[in-house]
Amino acid sequence: MTILDKIECFLIKIFLLLAILLVIFQLLGKLSPWSDVVILLNRLEGAVYNYSGL
């Protein structure tokens, strides 16, 4: 297995993890008790992003 194969496997695993997390957050957003938590996390992320000046 060459270094490029290892990098490719790593990137595929990262992509699958992000896709799974996206599905989980979409499902949590549809459930009413958890939607408030997801919205709060989104607002906190926005506040941190705006504060950091990026």
What are 10-27's pLDDT values in tens digits? 999 999 999 998 888 788
Q: What is the pLDDT of residue 3?
A: 92
Give the whole-angstrom CA distance, residue 15 versus residue 49.
23
Q: Provide the whole-model pTM.
A: 0.55
Q: Is the pLDDT of residue 52 over 80?
A: no
In this prediction, what percent of the chain has a pLDDT beyond 70? 93
- Residue 7's pLDDT is 94
What is residue 20's predicted lDDT score, i.e. its pLDDT? 93
